[in-house]
Homo-oligomer: A and B are copies of this chain.
Amino acid sequence: MNPVIVRRIRRADASVITRLGVAGVATVHEAMNRSGLMRPYMRPLYPAARVAGSAVTVLSHPGDNLMIHAAIDVCQQGDVLVVGLASDSTDGMFGELLAVSCRARGIAGLVIDAGVRDSAAIAEMQFPVWSKAISAQGTVKATPGSVNVPVVCAGALVRPGDVIVGDGDGVVVVPRDLAEDVAARSEQRMKREDATRERLANGELGMDIYGFRQKLEQLGVRYVDEE
């Protein structure tokens, strides 16, 4: 409730973070029983953007990016900035200069429930960003906020130190304590999917592989031959 900056947070193991990044958003989300996904309006700034890292969270007033500066100060190499807002805004709270600063400090990426500007320059730098909008709308530095408190970003709860995975499918949040377990489940899932993929590529049908013919019958779906 009162603005605070938390300097030190616990993070998941680096190797676990890497494994979650390899698995990707869709697989990790399924491995978490379909939880933790941000709303689909969060889109990468450029198609090849991919990231996995520990969340340093920022709670900002809309149209004010003062707290992003404060957050960069407490980030470690490999962290991902996650910015949530008290109310909806598309203002461009992050631009090229901040991206240069993040890169210099080893920050791995940005996830922001608002807008970003200097989109071409950031894409050229290949600094991974997921945002709600691209907007040149400038911001002020006038209102207090917090760093490293739990925030809601694009409909998902993010706690400091949670693992953030982002790719072309969006962004998923893995609670720090579950990270290792989710990594293991993601890898099992990928193995199972490899096997299924081969069968499907050979022309087998999901209907047969997963036993959906009986399910349809149980659900009362009737087959007819012609229109």
Question: Does chain B have a CB within 8 A of A14?
Answer: no
The interface bits of chain A over 46-76 (1 if a CB of B lies within 8 angstroms of the residue's CB, else 0) are 0100000000000001111010011011000
Residues in B neighbouring A196, C-beta threshold 8 A? 97
B206–A69 CB distance below 8 A: yes
Identical chains bound together, number? 6
A200–B97 CB distance below 8 A: yes
Residues in B neighbouring A143, C-beta threshold 8 A? 140, 142, 219
A87–B39 CB distance below 8 A: yes
- Size of A's binding interface in residues, CB under 8 A: 106
A window 62-113: CB within 8 A of B: 62-64, 66, 69-70, 72-73, 86-92, 95-98, 100-101, 103-105
With A70-B207, A101-B206 as given contacts, are A144 and B3 in contact (CB-CB < 8 Å)? no
With A2-B33, A63-B63, A69-B206 as given contacts, are A97 and B197 in contact (CB-CB < 8 Å)? yes
Q: Which of B133, B137, B145, B207 contacts A72 (CB under 8 A)?
A: B207
B86–A221 CB distance below 8 A: no
Interface residues of A (CB under 8 A from B): 1-10, 25-26, 29-30, 32-35, 37, 39-40, 43, 47, 61-64, 66, 69-70, 72-73, 86-92, 95-98, 100-101, 103-105, 115, 117-120, 123, 133-138, 140-146, 148, 150, 152, 155-157, 160-161, 167-170, 172, 175, 178, 182, 193, 196-197, 200-203, 205-207, 210, 212, 215-216, 219-227
